[in-house]
């Protein structure tokens, strides 16, 4: 097992805050938190979880106010009653050592509970632990199972992770058709990387994907609009190529 600090921070930093904010009203939901942590897939269910459980709502308020010790106690109590949002947030506080000492083993236990309760973001984070080998032995097969559960619920980062696994043959049989399917799903969900890769599938064709430069150009444009410089270059190249091949009047 490995536990590099930088990777630890990359995997878990701000995750509690992202989903905690997500359980409040839509107007309060932070767009940057959604983009950073893919909490959007759970926003609606998180809102229900907080509204139906005053203790979880209080924990969210305390967390966002910086009262971490109180938030951790409240999340723990709500988690012990089975609130899956509280289970996830309590797990993240334990892993991060927020509001008290870090306890990775206990955090994994509560993260697994939230994942078993079908919370897609918990499933994704749990799968990523196994994919990266953070705090557990690396197990891409286990990761694949959790990514698939989350992806089937529309979790965009899980869709991308699953596509990468199919493309690499990591944790599952290599399958470019399945890879394309999940890249396209993630692209439709707004993921910039998936938009670029989907564009490349359409540009070259094959693996059951018909070659279509116009569609490829559209996906490159979508990725370019989000700031991908290579996608912008591909968009410009295909635009010039299509213009040359267009019939003259």
Residue 46 is predicted with a pLDDT of 52
Q: What is the CATH number of domain 139-249?
A: 1.25.40.10
Domain residue extents for the chain: 1-133, 139-249
Tell me the pLDDT of the chain (249 aa) as tens digits: 443 333 233 333 334 343 443 332 222 222 222 223 334 445 445 544 454 678 899 999 999 999 999 999 999 999 999 999 999 999 999 999 999 999 999 999 999 999 999 999 999 999 999 999 988 999 999 999 999 999 999 999 999 999 999 999 999 999 999 999 999 999 999 999 999 999 999 999 998 999 999 999 999 999 999 999 999 999 999 999 999 887 765
Per-residue pLDDT tens over the stretch 46-94? 544 454 678 899 999 999 999 999 999 999 999 999 999 999 999 999 9
Sequence-distant (6+) residues with CB within 8 A of 219 are: 187, 195, 196, 198, 199, 202
């Amino acid at each position: 097992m490995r536990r590099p600090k930088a990777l630890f921070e990359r995997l878990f930093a701000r995750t509690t805050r992202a989903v905690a904010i997500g359980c409040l009203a839509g107007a309060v939901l932070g767009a940057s938190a959604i983009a950073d942590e893919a909490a959007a897939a759970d926003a609606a269910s998180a809102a229900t979880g907080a509204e139906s459980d005053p203790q979880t709502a209080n924990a969210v308020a305390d967390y966002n106010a910086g009262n971490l010790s109180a938030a951790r106690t409240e999340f723990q109590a709500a988690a012990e009653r089975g609130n899956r949002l509280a289970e996830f947030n309590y797990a993240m506080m334990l892993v991060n050592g927020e509001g008290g000492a870090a306890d990775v083993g206990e955090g994994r236990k509560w993260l697994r509970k939230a994942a078993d309760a079908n919370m897609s973001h918990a499933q994704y984070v749990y799968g990523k632990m196994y994919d990266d080998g953070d705090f557990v032995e690396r197990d891409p097969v286990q990761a694949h199972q959790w990514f698939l559960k989350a992806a089937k619920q529309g979790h965009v980062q899980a869709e991308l992770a699953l596509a990468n696994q199919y493309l690499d043959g990591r944790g599952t049989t290599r399958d470019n058709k399945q890879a394309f399917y999940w890249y396209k799903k993630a692209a439709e969900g707004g993921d910039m990387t998936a938009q670029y890769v989907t564009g490349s599938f359409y540009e070259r064709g094959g693996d059951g994907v018909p070659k279509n430069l116009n569609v490829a150009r559209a996906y490159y444009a979508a990725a370019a609009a989000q700031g991908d410089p290579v996608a912008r270059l591909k968009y410009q190249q295909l635009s010039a190529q299509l213009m040359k091949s267009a019939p003259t009047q």
